[in-house]
Structure formats: structure tokens, C-alpha cells
């Protein structure tokens, strides 16, 4: 028989993680376990995110996709968490950011981040159009379609 893990489901559920922070505003040890409250990380509003810096070039020269509103918020959330002294795994940070985005952020905040996402998308579209302008000139000959009447068809029509 194959060996099984020594951890029972009850033992896994009862585990608690401790995060140590150096800020004076919070206790030195902050426990986060399943079902407990997580630390509230205050994301500065309005954010200091430049939509143009969100669009980067990949190694092959193509532009990265423009982020949606939540991805921009999560980026600001990670920066705020690090500024508060937290060094958490991205899976924990993403879960915390998602919960805070859905439950604690105002509609005004969400609208602001949507506007930033739209600005980033528009900037990317503008950059893509300027890069592909040369390609259109090369392909312009392919875009011309002409129909010639076949002499056989002309005789049949008469």
C-alpha cells in the first residue's frame, strides 16, 4: 500500500499562520487563520499609478495586455501592504485584495480604477496603432479587390 500523509483534514484546518510586522500601529504578531479576520490594509486614494507605466514591452517587442481595474487595485494593494511592513505570499495578498475590493471599497473608488484601466487600454491601443501603421502600408495592395467580367459570362447575359 502507498503511504498516506500524516496530516488529517482536521489538523490542516487548525493550522494558524503568524505574520510579523514592524509597524507600531499593529500588534507585533498578527495571526491569520481560516475564518479569522485579516489585517485591513489602507490603499491610498487617489492612487499614484501612472496608466502609461502599466503598459510594458515584452522581450519579443510586443506590448503587454492592459490591466483591468482590479489588477491595478491589486498592484496598489501590494505596494500599500509592503509599505505597512507586510511580506505576504501573493495568494494571500490577492485574496485579501479581492475581499477588500468587493466589500470595503466604495463605488467611487471602483469607478476611479475603471477610469485608470480605460486610460491604460487607450494608451496601449494608441501605441499598437502607431507600431502597426507600417504594416498596413505593406498590406495595402492585398486590400484591393476587383471583379472582372468573364467574356463567357458576357455572352451568356446577352
What CATH number should be reported for the domain holding residue 70? 1.10.30
Residue with cell 505593406: 138
pLDDT in tens, 93-130: 888 888 888 888 888 888 998 999 888 888 888 887 77
Return all residues near 54 (Cβ < 8 A) that are at least 6 apart. Answer: 66, 67, 72, 75, 120
pLDDT for res 16: 52
- pLDDT for 26 beyond 50: no
Q: Is 78 a member of any domain?
A: yes
Q: Is 6 a member of any domain?
A: no
Q: Is 153 a member of any domain?
A: no
What pTM did the predictor assign?
0.56
Q: Is 77 a member of any domain?
A: yes
How many Å separate Cα 2 from the centre of its chain?
42
Q: Residue 82's domain spans which residues?
A: 41-133
Number of domains in the chain: 1
pLDDT in tens, 30-84: 444 444 556 677 887 877 777 777 777 777 877 778 888 888 888 888 888 888 8
Amino acid at each position: 500500500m502507498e503511504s498516506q500523509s500524516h496530516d488529517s483534514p482536521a489538523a490542516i484546518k487548525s493550522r494558524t499562520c503568524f505574520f510579523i510586522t514592524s509597524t507600531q500601529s499593529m500588534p507585533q504578531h498578527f495571526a491569520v487563520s481560516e475564518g479569522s479576520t485579516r489585517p485591513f490594509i489602507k490603499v491610498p486614494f487617489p492612487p499614484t499609478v501612472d496608466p502609461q507605466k502599466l503598459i510594458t514591452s515584452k522581450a519579443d517587442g510586443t506590448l503587454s495586455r492592459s490591466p483591468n481595474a482590479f489588477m491595478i487595485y491589486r498592484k496598489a494593494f501590494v505596494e500599500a501592504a509592503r509599505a505597512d511592513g507586510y511580506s505576504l505570499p501573493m495568494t494571500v495578498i490577492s485574496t485579501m485584495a479581492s475581499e477588500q475590493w468587493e466589500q470595503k471599497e466604495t463605488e467611487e473608488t471602483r469607478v476611479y480604477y475603471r477610469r485608470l484601466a480605460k486610460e491604460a487600454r487607450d494608451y496601449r491601443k494608441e501605441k499598437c496603432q502607431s507600431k502597426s501603421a507600417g504594416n498596413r502600408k505593406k498590406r495595402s495592395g492585398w486590400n484591393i479587390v476587383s471583379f472582372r467580367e468573364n467574356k463567357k459570362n458576357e455572352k451568356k447575359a446577352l
